[in-house]
Structure 1
Amino acid sequence: MAIDEKIFAGARLRRLRRERGLTQADAADMLGLSPSYLNLLERNQRPLTARVLLALADAFEIDVRALAEGSDRQLITDLEAAASDPSLASLQLERSELTELAESQPRAAEAVTRLHQAYRNAADSTADLAAQLAGGPETGQLPETEAVRNAIDKHHNHFPELERAAEALSAELKLTPDNRIGLLEARLKDGHGIIVRTFEDDVMGGARQRMDFHTRRLMLSDRLPPHARPMQIATTLVMLEYGDLLDRETAAAGLNSKAGQMLYRTGLARYLAGALLAPYGAFLKQAEKSRYDIERLQRRFQLGFEAVCHRLTTLHRPDASGIPFFMVRTDPAGNISKRFGGGVLPFARSGGSCPKWSLFEAFRAPEKLHTQRFILPDGSEYLSIARAVSHASTDNDLPVLHAIAVGCEWERAGETVYSERLAGAATETGLSCRICEREACAHRAFPSMYAKMNTNPWRQAAGPYASDEH
């Protein structure tokens, strides 16, 4: 971003203030501005100056690049998904119209996407009920999961209070990867009267971890791999020691349902535990030193592939930020069980992902690292690093297999060790078939909202649903 570039981000500034429950007068006081000047900024009648950007970074603990970037990619993607729904498709809304709505009225745009998500959830629930009555499979997704993901995405998966708490406790206990299990167990025993014990499946009943408050025992399954044990112990410890902090952060998210609040709080506890095992400063230093080599980070912090990928998505401290990473976890059926856009890559919330993404190639060769450079229809390019990982099933069935991908914008890929492996043109992909403009794609599973569907029985296109010739 050039120093003399004018930045008009009134809608984003207003949204940021409202998310924190501040009046214009309160926010102006925090930023050292007059309420009238802040009002002009929010109405895009004045550009954000360098001084205001620095004040925002200090007062709100945000990465000011988020205000300087353009439109909210995830919001526009969600609007495109809503516009592609059959109930709205006849309006033929153009991307420029959706972008204008997202930029000028982000809260109204978010309201539209929430209504669409609620509509889709209701439709899925109705279909699930019908399938159950007919003896078929259940396919829907609880609305709470999307609400939790939305709440995390608002923070770009970075929580400053949790980071500070983790660094303070790590320094107090003097944790290192070599001594942390013993020190964490000692803290549980001395501070909370809880001992850690390992049990076989017949005792655990298939659970990976269970807290028995009656006997004051943290019960761990013997199926847990070595790198997963510290995470389970650390999660239990932070829930006991930082309950008030977790409650405050959860309340601030404004989730309506009890289930959503519990899911969010559990996610924050795991975030805090991960930050305890890999403190922000130490992890960022090693990440930059190794050029974000995931395998080296695994060895240095004795963490699994997924835990390191998750930690990479959290490096958004304003005064010490790393590369903004996205992350996604999916099973062989394409069900996404974890997703962090990181303000980098938007995700389609329904309709599946692009099969040309190497994320799905990872299932063919588990434990092999798959790197890819891909380009979306809007011209944005990304680096993707994917691997399939497995762990033992608790019911003696097939191992549980997931593919995990982490990546960043291609312009930052040169800061990693992986860009050197990728030569040549980028793979042309999309986010999902319904909002992808690549008409001739042989992998297309659904017609695009941007083209008329092929209904000519005398012409077989390069891919299904390609538009008719005129």
Structure 2
Amino acid sequence: MSAVRKLFVGSRVRRLREQAGWTQQQLAQRLSLSLSYVSQIENNQRPVTAAVLLKLADVFGGDVSQFSEEQDRRLAAELRYALQDRTLWADTLPAATVARLVEQAPELVEAFVLLYQRYNRLQEAYAQMIDRYYGQQGGDAQEGGVLRQAAAAWPHEEVRDHFNRRNNYLDTLDRLAEALAEELKLEPGQRAAVLRQMLRDRLGVEVELIDDDAAPTWLRQYDPARRRLSLASSLSDAQQAFQMATQLALLAYEDAIEEELREGGFADSATQALARQGFAHYFAGALLLPYQTFLTAARQYRYDIERLQRRFHVSFETVCHRLSTLQRSGARGIPFYFVRVDQAGNISKRQSATAFHFAKHGGACPLWHVHEAFAQPGRILTQVLEMPDGTRFFGIARTTSRGGAGYLSRRKIFAIGLGCELVHAAQLVYADGLDLHHPQHVVPIGPGCRVCPREDCVQRAFPPVGKTLITSPHRESLVSYRFEPH
């Protein structure tokens, strides 16, 4: 049994107190603590107990997740990633300096990270424009339109970032879904009929199944005028239930979803529509896999995904996705990252309750075992990996597919990656019998070749941006690109 980590929240408490305009004495009175106690907390001379943490959450509003170390660690990882781009910063900031920046000026760090992401989008949009219009008259107005569009986040990226900022957990929707699942007494394998009846009785919505030949790529279509929901006939009971629950959320829980949209501050209609769908999907997943029931089973099975599949009658991907959302205050599961990758290396889903950093530009690291999963379809692969900052993770990866109701039907094939920091690995059945700390078993990966600082990587596809290449026609090695480290 590992020792319980002490929680120091001084900088966050000081920041919240100053934002509220209170003195230390005023905060001490609200917490019913002594002035010296509050001073010691703010100066990180004393860790907070669970009772004090609950008092802090009550005084400042919100829940205890606002004092979680994971948010600061993820923000620090984002900042380190940006600072590794030598076109922006020529030197290396010590880890202690990065930590102090996140502690003392998190809003400034978030703003810097956002600017860096927009800078990258501008660079990519400009490169694409040059590729497309090279040799032609582009026109200032047209070019300006491309660059202005790229300056803002793409809708899917903005929605992803919102979920990541919330640790992939939406408390209001999660609790509403859990309460409804308990009210309806939903049972795995028998959910669809119950939800069909509920849609008819409470909302006046009729559900019909349509043949795949009539709509070969559609899963769900809702006609508000006829109040009719059409589902693909090839869907399983769980898949039908998920689609019905999604539509149920959009109709019966519109107020809760709209409140999430307001909190997200999404600027344009396209992003709002995508976020609305994402929130409805979140509700549906939480309805099929109610929080406390699922968390209890996950712990009981030691996060064995296949056993959880059989217990809840859902897909491998659905279980992995739900595992990455178990971050309810006072009842947290293991903080996981979740990723879905296609055979070309494109990441179509990614979210993380950990400090694991996904490449947003230039492709993911080829040494990451999620790519190898395609060579061994259906098999669960494990990997101990280390990021350039020394943080180690334990991950699993496996292929999954959707569609393919017939020989000529379209099929989607992905690799799913799920992982956690190495300190949690012993709680996973997949780590049994593995020497997790043997140096030969640790794979050094990076956030992507574009910014990866590793000098001797034989899989490097191209040199990092802003680095000075070292070239010589008289020397050659397995490492394609050598460069000045600083």
Aligned residues of 2:192 and 2:238 also touching (Cα < 8 A)? no
Q: Distance in 2 between matches of 1:366 and 1:398?
A: 18
Q: How many pairs does the alignment contain?
A: 461
**1:303-382 equivalent positions in 2, closer than 5 A:** 303-382=314-393
Compared CA separation, residues 13 and 456, structure 1 to 2 (3 A): farther
Query: Which residue of structure 1 lines up, in the alignment, with residue 110 of structure 2?
Result: 110
Query: Could you report, residue by residue, the CA deviation over 1:122-170 in whole angstroms, capped at 9, with x for unpaired residues?
Result: 23233334445479xx9x8962222222211121111221222112111
SS of 1:101's equivalent in the other structure is: helix
Q: 2:201 aligns with which of 186, 190, 194?
A: 190
Which amino acid is the alignment partner of residue 428 of structure 1?
P
Q: Distance in 1 between matches of 2:29 and 2:261?
A: 24
Query: Which residue of structure 1 lines up, in the alignment, with residue 414 of structure 2?
Result: 402
Q: 1:419 aligns with which of 414, 428, 431?
A: 431
Compared CA separation, residues 450 and 116, structure 1 to 2 (3 A): closer
Q: Distance in 1 between matches of 2:131 and 2:464?
A: 27
Q: Distance in 1 between matches of 2:17 and 2:221?
A: 40
State the superposition RMSD in angstroms: 3.6
1:445 aligns with 2:444: no
Compared CA separation, residues 278 and 5, structure 1 to 2 (3 A): closer
Q: 1:271 aligns with which of 276, 282, 287?
A: 282
**1:1-400 equivalent positions in 2, closer than 5 A:** 7-10=8-11, 12-13=12-13, 23-24=20-21, 32=31, 44=43, 47=46, 49-50=48-49, 51-56=51-56, 59-63=61-65, 66-67=68-69, 72-85=72-85, 87-90=87-90, 93=93, 95-133=95-133, 143-204=154-215, 206-392=217-403, 399-400=411-412
* Worse overlay, 172-181 or 440-449: 440-449
1:455: how far off?
1.9
* Worse overlay, 450-459 or 335-344: 450-459
Query: Could you report, residue by residue, the CA deviation over 1:92-123 in whole angstroms, capped at 9, with x for unpaired residues?
Result: 55555444322321111111111111122223
Compared CA separation, residues 56 and 166, structure 1 to 2 (3 A): farther
Q: Distance in 2 between matches of 1:417 and 1:381?
A: 18
Q: Distance in 1 between matches of 2:348 and 2:384?
A: 23
Compared CA separation, residues 342 and 467, structure 1 to 2 (3 A): same
1:275: how far off?
0.8
Q: Distance in 1 between matches of 2:255 and 2:349?
A: 26
Q: Distance in 1 between matches of 2:290 and 2:480?
A: 49
Compared CA separation, residues 4 and 111, structure 1 to 2 (3 A): closer
* Worse overlay, 390-399 or 262-271: 390-399
SS of 2:427's equivalent in the other structure is: coil
Query: Could you report, residue by residue, the CA deviation over 1:411-445 in whole angstroms, capped at 9, with x for unpaired residues?
Result: 11111110015345222222222443331110012
1:383: how far off?
1.4
Aligned residues of 2:363 and 2:448 also touching (Cα < 8 A)? yes
SS of 1:437's equivalent in the other structure is: coil
* Worse overlay, 205-214 or 88-97: 88-97
SS of 1:303's equivalent in the other structure is: coil
Q: Distance in 2 between matches of 1:317 and 1:469?
A: 42
Structure 2 runs not aligned, ≥5 long: 136-145
1:239: how far off?
1.6
SS of 1:204's equivalent in the other structure is: coil
SS of 1:127's equivalent in the other structure is: helix
Q: Distance in 1 between matches of 2:7 and 2:73?
A: 20
Aligned residues of 1:451 and 1:467 also touching (Cα < 8 A)? yes
* Worse overlay, 337-346 or 167-176: 337-346
Which amino acid is the alignment partner of residue 400 of structure 2?
V
Which amino acid is the alignment partner of residue 250 of structure 1?
L
Aligned residues of 1:390 and 1:402 also touching (Cα < 8 A)? yes
Aligned residues of 1:208 and 1:223 also touching (Cα < 8 A)? no
- Give the TM-score of the pair, scaled to structure 2: 0.84
Q: Distance in 1 between matches of 2:411 and 2:6?
A: 53
Percent identical pairs in the alignment equals 37
Aligned residues of 2:13 and 2:42 also touching (Cα < 8 A)? no
Query: Could you report, residue by residue, the CA deviation over 1:150-197 in whole angstroms, capped at 9, with x for unpaired residues?
Result: 211121111221222112111111111132111100000111111111
Compared CA separation, residues 286 and 31, structure 1 to 2 (3 A): farther
SS of 2:287's equivalent in the other structure is: helix
